[in-house]
């Protein structure tokens, strides 16, 4: 599995350009765009997000499985970052992993997410982050279905679904 290292936002990150692939809300690819890294103070994130969104996306906590609605959602649409609106996953790559979290076998565009090693538990995992704002999204595992063999296990609190 390839890791593209990303770091948590800091004051210096405000001037970092990020190249993403943009999508409209219907999921139509618009093409590459260069945007400034989204950096906000902790207080600003707390005001913008619900408590669950804040703790999941900004503090790296994990949603309780089988408590949301996205893990069993079968509606066509696009999943965006709850913090910055970056396009992350398409319903076309979503599958039922049986874990109770929304699971995808690929991001909508590889450059829209980043990954890094997560050693916070007794096993090494690969953390998935939003490339635009460094929001914690969840983790990726190598036990997913074809064609990628990957399972992006994503916290619902870090996502906003649009169709």
Q: Which residues are catalytic?
A: 153
CA distance 153 to 139: 5
Longest dimension (CA), the chain: 41
Residue with tokens 């992006």: 152
Sign, CA torsion 127/132/135/138: negative
State the DSSP code for 60: -
- CA dihedral over 92, 83, 72, 118, signed as positive or negative: positive
Do 56 and 67 touch, CB atoms closer than 8 A? no
């Amino acid at each position: 599995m390839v890791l593209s290292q990303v770091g948590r936002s800091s004051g210096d990150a405000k001037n970092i350009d990020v190249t993403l692939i943009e999508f409209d809300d219907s999921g139509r690819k618009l093409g590459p765009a260069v945007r400034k890294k989204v950096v906000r103070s902790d207080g600003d994130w707390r005001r913008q997000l619900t408590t669950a969104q804040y703790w999941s996306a900004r503090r790296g906590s994990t949603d309780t499985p089988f408590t949301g609605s996205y893990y069993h959602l079968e509606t066509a649409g696009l999943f965006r970052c709850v913090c910055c609106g970056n396009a992350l996953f398409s319903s076309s790559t979503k599958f039922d992993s049986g874990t109770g979290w929304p699971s995808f076998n690929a991001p909508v565009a590889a450059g829209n997410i980043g990954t890094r090693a997560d050693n916070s538990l007794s096993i090494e995992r690969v953390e998935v982050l939003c490339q635009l704002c460094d929001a914690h999204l969840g983790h990726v595992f190598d036990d997913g279905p074809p064609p990628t063999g990957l399972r992006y296990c994503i916290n619902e609190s870090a996502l906003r679904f649009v169709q």
